[in-house]
Chain A
Amino acid sequence: MSHRQDITCLLQGHSFIELSARERAHSLLDAGSSRELAGPFDRQYSPWLSAQGIVAQADDGVVICKGLLDGQPAVVAAIEGGFQGGSLGEVGGAKLACALELAAADNRQSIPTRAVILFETGGVRLQEANLGLAAIAEIHSAIADLSRYQPVVGIIAGTVGCFGGMSIAAGMCSYLIVTREARLGLNGPQVIEQEAGMAEYDSRNRPFIWSLTGGEQRQACGLADALVEDDTPLIRQQLLDFIACGLPAEPRHRRSQHMLQRLLTMDSTTQADAASARQLFQSGARP
């Protein structure tokens, strides 16, 4: 493609990453069907941030939209990476957990509500530490409950990525969609460097970090199901395709015997890299 064509392509594209959490949620639900719950005009501020000199936000960084997906009832929970690093505190965490619980309750009353989670989060909001952690445990519980009835689809688009307790939530989802910009990992690079030293994990070495935790690598390892371009219609189509698949035959988190055997028989003395990770996962189908 010529330079001019590149620019035309860029201008005509519909980036998902460039959208706010609220725009992302609206863009995925069927046109005209989206309705925000406990939104900013309901003014549900974090009760803990202002006491620490931090400006709170009226939606606490979590957007819950109810509507339709392909004509079926759905809820989209979108985390706003631009507010406090997408961290989950008491209010945002409660919104997310409660929305998933209500979707599960719908299913017990024969309303087939499905859920989509847009992860853009560093995990627990440390300014609300234990209440963030508790809410994340409740989110885990709700995903486990709801995913018995309907697929729960996670999307990590970037640029914040998905870390901490919320990476565990991502690992519990029925399907996971990522872009190349996405990162997925338990511990953020700075925390690993702080705990284990720079030789173990250099938080400034971005190519190294993406090579281990980037969307492309995670999909190649089977830790995500689809790698898509940063394009809203493509992401939406992939989401609809996964929902149409129904529940996965064997969720990723149910392969414990297989993964345990693989890890016990691998060479753990050599330091890991992208190739050794792909080898671990590919030598026995997806984890």
Chain B
Amino acid sequence: MSQASISQRGRDWFHALCGQASLQQGLPPSLLVADGELAGQPARYVAVVADPENPFVRARHGEVGLLEGWALAATIDAAVDADQQHAHKRAIVAIIDVPSQAYGRREEAYGIHQALAAAAAAYARARLAGHPVIGLIVGKAMSGAFLAHGYQANRLLALNDAGVMVHAMGKQAAARITLRTVEELEKLAASIAPMAYDIASYASLGLLWRLLKAEQPDQPTPADVQLVHTALTEALRDIQADPQPDLRQRLHGEHRQATRQVRALLQQQWTQNGG
């Protein structure tokens, strides 16, 4: 059994970035949502944070659980619906510090996969509808939690820090499932870039648009906030200048050569022989 420690990063960066904007009401306390601005344009900021009183006990350390998945979907869908008639769609900034999805019996029984599907679908729908969606990774971005909160963004940014981590599964569980020891797993991770747990290895996969060096990721200084704010602004401009609302910008990484090769092959064969 592993016990997650509670991170405050998501909450701290959320408040640092949206300043005086008031929190949206009617959502579970584990979801922080505020409508603020970015580069003078309307923007909705969204963070999943720990709620020690969460009615679902397996989701009290900031995990994305049943309530968080459906609430993310509700708040993103609401923004898309509200802006449906507007030519200018508000930006959505996902502040990502999620240790994992919630692991529990209630979660499986009550369809946590569907809750996370709702969140991922809502983010993807927002992006396809023309909302600039930016994912800012300030802490952990693990597995299903990240798929539900942020991985559908047009652009992903991350802080370059040891506390920032993207992965499919925690080390203990990954070792058990692949029938390895944790030591063996760590040894492999040192030479196999997609298995590594550090953010520099992740960056080599080409999935990040930008890596940012903040001085104090745990307690952002005014200079840190300025740095991130500038990067978010540039990401917004980059998205707005891009005619494609898809994820192709992520395909250029040094360690995604096989991806490009098989995609090119499939594309070429798709239209052969009259389809």
Contact indicator B109/A272 (Cβ below 8 Å)? yes
Known A44-B258, A124-B143, A195-B103: A287·B114 in contact at CB below 8 Å: yes
Distance in angstroms from B25 CB to nearest chain A CB is 14
User: Can you identify 29 A-B contacts, CB atoms within 8 angstroms?
Assistant: A44-B261, A52-B188, A91-B262, A94-B263, A124-B168, A128-B195, A130-B207, A131-B194, A133-B151, A134-B207, A138-B250, A145-B246, A165-B168, A167-B113, A168-B116, A172-B121, A184-B113, A186-B101, A187-B144, A201-B108, A213-B108, A253-B118, A254-B73, A263-B110, A268-B56, A272-B105, A272-B106, A276-B109, A287-B114
Which residues of B, 29-55, contact A by the 8 Å Cβ criterion? 55
Distance in angstroms from B21 CB to nearest chain A CB is 22
Which 7 pairs across A and B sit closest by C-beta, in order of nearness?
A171-B117, A144-B124, A272-B109, A167-B113, A256-B73, A256-B74, A137-B151
Contact indicator B124/A140 (Cβ below 8 Å)? yes
Residues of B within 8 A of A191 (CB): 103, 169, 173, 176-177
Distance in angstroms from A86 CB to nearest chain B CB is 13
Stretch at the interface among B12-20, B63-71, B84-92, B215-223: B63-71
Contact indicator A200/B104 (Cβ below 8 Å)? yes
Residue of A nearest to B269 (CB): A37
Contact indicator B262/A38 (Cβ below 8 Å)? yes
Contact indicator A186/B194 (Cβ below 8 Å)? no
Contact indicator B273/A38 (Cβ below 8 Å)? no
A280 CB-CB contact with B under 8 Å: yes
Residues of B within 8 A of A283 (CB): none
Known A145-B246, A263-B66, A272-B105: A111·B265 in contact at CB below 8 Å: no
SS class of chain B's interface: helix, strand, loop or mixed? helix
Which residues of A, 266-287, contact B by the 8 Å Cβ criterion? 268-269, 271-274, 276-277, 280-281, 287
Stretch at the interface among A23-31, A98-106, A230-238: A98-106
B178 CB-CB contact with A under 8 Å: yes
Residues of A within 8 A of B1 (CB): 194-197
Q: Mark B108-137, 1 if CB is under 8 A from A, else 0.
A: 111111111110111011011000000000
Interface centre among A168, A271, A274 (most CB of B within 10 A): A168
Residues of B within 8 A of A168 (CB): 113, 116-117, 120, 144, 147-148
Residue of A nearest to B250 (CB): A134
B210 CB-CB contact with A under 8 Å: no
Known A133-B168, A164-B144, A259-B115: A201·B74 in contact at CB below 8 Å: no
Which residues of A, 66-105, contact B by the 8 Å Cβ criterion? 66, 73, 90-91, 94-95, 98-99, 101-102
Distance in angstroms from B160 CB to nearest chain A CB is 16
Residues of A within 8 A of B118 (CB): 171, 252-256, 259
Residues of B within 8 A of A134 (CB): 151, 205, 207, 250
Which among B110, B172, B207 is the interface contact of A277 at CB below 8 angstroms? B110
- Known contacts A165-B143, A194-B173, A252-B117; 8 additional CB pairs below 8 A are A51-B191, A91-B262, A130-B166, A131-B194, A148-B128, A172-B117, A184-B113, A268-B56
Which among A186, A190, A221 is the interface contact of B107 at CB below 8 angstroms? A186
SS class of chain A's interface: helix, strand, loop or mixed? helix
- Give Cα A187–Cα B100 distance, bound, in whole angstroms: 11
Distance in angstroms from A103 CB to nearest chain B CB is 9
B-side residues, CB < 8 A to A, are 1-2, 28, 55-58, 66-67, 70-71, 73-74, 77, 100-101, 103-118, 120-122, 124-125, 127-128, 143-144, 146-148, 151-152, 166-170, 172-174, 176-178, 188, 191-196, 202, 205, 207, 246-247, 250, 255-259, 261-263, 265-267, 269-270, 273, 275
Contact indicator A102/B267 (Cβ below 8 Å)? yes
Known A37-B270, A95-B266: A192·B104 in contact at CB below 8 Å: yes
Residue of A nearest to B201 (CB): A130
Residue of A nearest to B76 (CB): A256
Q: Mark A152-196, 1 if CB is under 8 A from B, else 0.
A: 000000000000110111111000000000001111101110111
Contact indicator A37/B166 (Cβ below 8 Å)? no
A35 CB-CB contact with B under 8 Å: yes
A10 CB-CB contact with B under 8 Å: no
Residue of A nearest to B150 (CB): A137
Contact indicator B108/A192 (Cβ below 8 Å)? yes
Known A148-B128, A268-B106: A127·B178 in contact at CB below 8 Å: yes
Distance in angstroms from A102 CB to nearest chain B CB is 5
A115 CB-CB contact with B under 8 Å: no
Residue of A nearest to B4 (CB): A195
A135 CB-CB contact with B under 8 Å: yes
Contact indicator B122/A194 (Cβ below 8 Å)? no
Residues of A within 8 A of B128 (CB): 144-145, 148
- Give Cα A111–Cα B271 distance, bound, in whole angstroms: 12
A129 CB-CB contact with B under 8 Å: yes
- Give Cα A266–Cα B195 distance, bound, in whole angstroms: 39
Contact indicator B194/A73 (Cβ below 8 Å)? no
Contact indicator A212/B108 (Cβ below 8 Å)? yes
Which among A101, A138, A259 is the interface contact of B70 at CB below 8 angstroms? A259
Distance in angstroms from B174 CB to nearest chain A CB is 5
Contact indicator B147/A140 (Cβ below 8 Å)? yes
Interface centre among A136, A141, A191 (most CB of B within 10 A): A141
